[in-house]
């Protein structure tokens, strides 16, 4: 009977994996768990491994965490690779999360995941006496989270000296009193520091200061924007003034009874004020703002016009059917438009506007069948004007020259945007429910529907809406200067690749014209998001592979800077040194040779003995 020999092959990949894991970066994140006595801060151990791959992000958690942590990991990895100037499509990222108890709220670990990923990509060591809590936003800013005080206590139990929190969360409401997180930490012997972005936080963990590369506005691109937006502002002003004259004459010719006459005359006065505002904005060079004011005037004028017709016996149903046919025709024109890298943003803008028009028309029909004809006219008039604006934006686009982009190639990117939006909206709804978050949830549902219908451009657009609305509600600091600068930086970066970030420039200009802080924050976020979208699309179609936005400045300690505002007697950081990846590779190669030789020897010996 022949002897048989079974090689334990399964042990080889396990051995190789274990060797590969020796280069992982380890970090501790603070989290919150629920006990019989309330919430308690707990440490969560995280390992990050980056290998060559094809753009996948894997997560292994024990115990199971909420799904929003997976979405947070995706955002964290994307931001980390952008900062490191590497192409995520060429790597796989593995997050191994371990905790002794179930934890609540995954997004609060986003900043921690991002920092560890950047450290792994750059082979940097981490200071182990620092912790951070904060949601990572796609633009690299650190968003607010809950459980700050409990997490500070957890950091103290882990022996940390420094605890980083999102800017704006220093003062925490607890019932009828407000607690200062900085003073709370001081009593525990921990220095609590507010940070705005991942760039600020990274310095405390690595002693490496990332300085953003500066890009100046592209004068050629800026001139194209100005000329295009000025032309649109002129067109909208002309239309609104012409419409005003016609509607004014029509209203003067018809007496509709005191109540209706008085109401419509007041609306006409409001339209006139909007036209005057648009004129002034145009004279000030605020062309996007002028276009918005002129557009709002057109909505009012169209509503007055259609209301007069209705009061004179015109059929509202016929009015809505005409709008419906008009929207369908315009939608077909937009969907058949050739898409290139130079005009894709204009096509997205047109799609978004025609989609909004369709939703408004749905509301109009609901009002009509609810026997509210005046309300139906208001929605219908808005839908008609929104459809007109879709074609305005499409006509602004450059010629169709250049290689055609198949929207199907943006499926993965749209899925990423959708996942990010879902994570942000879900977390925002838990931390701070608000009308803006509710609106964000509606936009998220629109994005999901668009994805199911394979309209990936509309998926991206609605996902941006959802993310911006949800994160605007979380802006506690009300400091829009950081967001303003961030938007300008992203716009300049997009322009450096020769593309016209039309929407981003428009939103930036509009934010500059506003006085309300919340509105300014929202539109600066829109500007940043659309500029980032342009960059992401360029990467998705392989026009660019990666972007190096930073350069590294290494210091012995953040606190040794003579210009620092922090205590100069701060003790030195304790370091956690990762194994040098070069040595790991050498060991890996040598052991691989050994294993191959062992296998050959075993098979050879078995073969000779069998003979």
Reported pTM: 0.81
Q: Which of 206-215, 236-245, 292-301, 365-374 bottoms out in mean pLDDT, i.e. has the lowest?
A: 206-215
Give 190: exposed, middle or buried? Use CB within 10 Å, 0-12, 13-18, 19+: buried
C-alpha to C-alpha distances, 341 to 329, 348, 498, 501, nearest whole angstrom: 25, 12, 10, 11
Compute the distance between CA of residue 109 and CA of residue 135 in angstroms, rounded to an integer.
Answer: 6
pLDDT at 2: 41
Mean pLDDT, to the nearest integer, of 174-187?
92
Q: When comparing pLDDT for 254 and 8, which is higher?
A: 254
Which of 523, 529, 527 lies closest to 511, judged by CA?
523
Q: Is the torsion defined by CA of 369, 372, 373, 375 positive or negative?
A: negative
C-alpha to C-alpha distances, 34 to 40, 41, 46, 105, 214, nearest whole angstrom: 6, 9, 20, 11, 45
Compute the distance between CA of residue 342 and CA of residue 347 in angstroms, rounded to an integer.
Answer: 10
pLDDT at 89: 85
Q: Are 431 and 384 in contact (CB under 8 A)?
A: no
pLDDT at 548: 62
The yes-or-no verdict on residue 461 having pLDDT over 60 is yes
Q: When comparing pLDDT for 6 and 543, which is higher?
A: 543
The yes-or-no verdict on residue 294 having pLDDT over 80 is yes
pLDDT at 145: 86
Q: Which of 97-101, 222-226, 322-326 bottoms out in mean pLDDT, i.e. has the lowest?
A: 97-101
The verdict on whether 461 is a catalytic residue reads no
Percent of the chain exceeding pLDDT 90 equals 60
pLDDT at 168: 86
Supply the angle between the helices 287-311 and 258-283 in degrees, to the nearest 10: 160
pLDDT at 214: 85
pLDDT at 15: 40
Give 481: exposed, middle or buried? Use CB within 10 Å, 0-12, 13-18, 19+: exposed
Q: Which residue has the tokens 């980032």?
A: 532
Compute the distance between CA of residue 319 and CA of residue 307 in angstroms, rounded to an integer.
Answer: 11
The yes-or-no verdict on residue 163 having pLDDT over 70 is yes
Could you report the per-residue pLDDT of 24-59, keeping only the tens digit for each? 899 999 988 877 777 888 889 999 999 999 889 998
The verdict on whether 108 is a catalytic residue reads yes
From the list 108, 293, 397, 467, the catalytic residue is 108
The yes-or-no verdict on residue 81 having pLDDT over 50 is yes
pLDDT at 31: 87
The yes-or-no verdict on residue 574 having pLDDT over 60 is no
pLDDT at 254: 87
Compute the distance between CA of residue 343 and CA of residue 258 in angstroms, rounded to an integer.
Answer: 50
From the list 78, 86, 151, 156, the catalytic residue is 151
Q: Which of 14-28, 195-209, 361-375, 487-501 bottoms out in mean pLDDT, i.e. has the lowest?
A: 14-28
Q: How far apart are the first and last CA of the chain?
A: 13
């Amino acid at each position: 009977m022949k002897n048989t020999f079974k090689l334990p092959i399964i042990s080889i990949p396990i051995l190789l994996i274990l060797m590969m894991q020796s280069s992982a970066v380890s970090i501790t994140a603070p989290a919150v768990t629920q006990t019989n006595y309330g919430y308690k801060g707990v440490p969560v151990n995280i390992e990050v491994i980056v290998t060559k791959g094809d753009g996948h992000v894997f997560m292994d958690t024990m115990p199971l965490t909420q799904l929003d942590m997976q979405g947070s990991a995706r955002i964290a990895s994307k931001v980390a690779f952008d900062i490191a100037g590497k192409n995520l499509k060429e790597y796989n990222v593995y997050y191994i999360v371990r905790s002794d108890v179930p934890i609540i709220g995954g997004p609060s670990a986003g900043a921690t995941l991002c920092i560890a990923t950047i450290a792994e990509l750059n082979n940097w060591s981490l200071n182990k006496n620092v912790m951070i809590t904060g949601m990572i936003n796609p633009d690299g800013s650190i968003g607010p989270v809950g459980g700050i005080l409990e997490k500070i206590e957890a950091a103290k139990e882990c022996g940390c000296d420094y605890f980083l929190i999102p800017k704006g969360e220093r003062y925490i409401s607890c019932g009828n009193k407000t607690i200062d997180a900085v003073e709370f930490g001081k009593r525990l012997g921990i220095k609590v520091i507010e940070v705005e972005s991942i760039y600020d936080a990274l310095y405390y963990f690595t002693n490496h200061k990332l300085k953003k590369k500066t890009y100046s506005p592209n004068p050629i691109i800026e001139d194209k924007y100005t000329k295009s937006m000025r032309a649109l502002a002129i067109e909208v002003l002309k239309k609104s003034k012409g419409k005003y004259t016609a509607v004014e004459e029509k209203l003067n010719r018809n007496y509709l009874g005191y109540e209706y006459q008085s109401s419509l005359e007041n609306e006409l006065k409001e339209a006139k004020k909007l036209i005057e505002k648009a004129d002034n904005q145009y004279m000030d060079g605020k062309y996007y703002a002028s276009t918005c004011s002129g557009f709002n005037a057109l909505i009012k004028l169209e509503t007055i016009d259609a209301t007069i017709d209705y009061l004179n016996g015109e059929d509202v149903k016929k009015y809505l059917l005409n709008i419906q046919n008009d929207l369908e025709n315009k939608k077909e024109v937009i969907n058949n438009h050739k898409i290139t890298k130079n005009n894709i943003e204009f096509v997205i803008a047109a799609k978004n506007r025609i989609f909004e028009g369709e939703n408004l028309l749905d509301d109009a029909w609901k009002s009509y069948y609810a026997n509210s004809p005046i309300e139906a006219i208001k929605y219908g008039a808005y839908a008609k004007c929104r459809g007109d604006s879709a074609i305005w934006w499409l006509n602004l686009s450059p010629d169709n020259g250049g290689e055609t982009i198949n929207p199907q190639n943006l499926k993965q990117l749209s899925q990423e945007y959708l996942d990010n939006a879902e994570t942000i909206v879900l977390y925002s709804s838990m931390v701070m429910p608000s009308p803006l978050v509710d609106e964000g949830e509606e936009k998220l549902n629109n994005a999901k529907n668009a994805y199911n219908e394979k309209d990936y451009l509309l998926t991206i657009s609605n996902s941006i809406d959802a993310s911006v609305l949800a994160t605007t509600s979380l802006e506690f600091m009300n400091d829009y200067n950081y967001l303003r600068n961030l938007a300008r930086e992203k716009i300049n970066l997009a322009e450096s690749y020769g593309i016209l970030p039309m929407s981003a420039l428009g939103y930036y200009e509009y934010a500059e014209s506003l006085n309300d802080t919340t509105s300014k924050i929202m539109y600066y976020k829109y500007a940043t998001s659309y500029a980032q979208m342009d960059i992401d699309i360029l990467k998705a179609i392989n026009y660019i592979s990666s972007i190096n936005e930073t350069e590294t400045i290494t210091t012995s300690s953040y606190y040794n800077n003579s210009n620092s505002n922090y205590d100069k007697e701060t003790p030195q950081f304790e370091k956690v040194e990762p194994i040098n990846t070069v040595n790991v590779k050498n060991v890996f190669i040598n052991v691989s040779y050994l294993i191959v030789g062992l296998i050959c020897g075993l098979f050879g010996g078995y073969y000779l003995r069998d003979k």
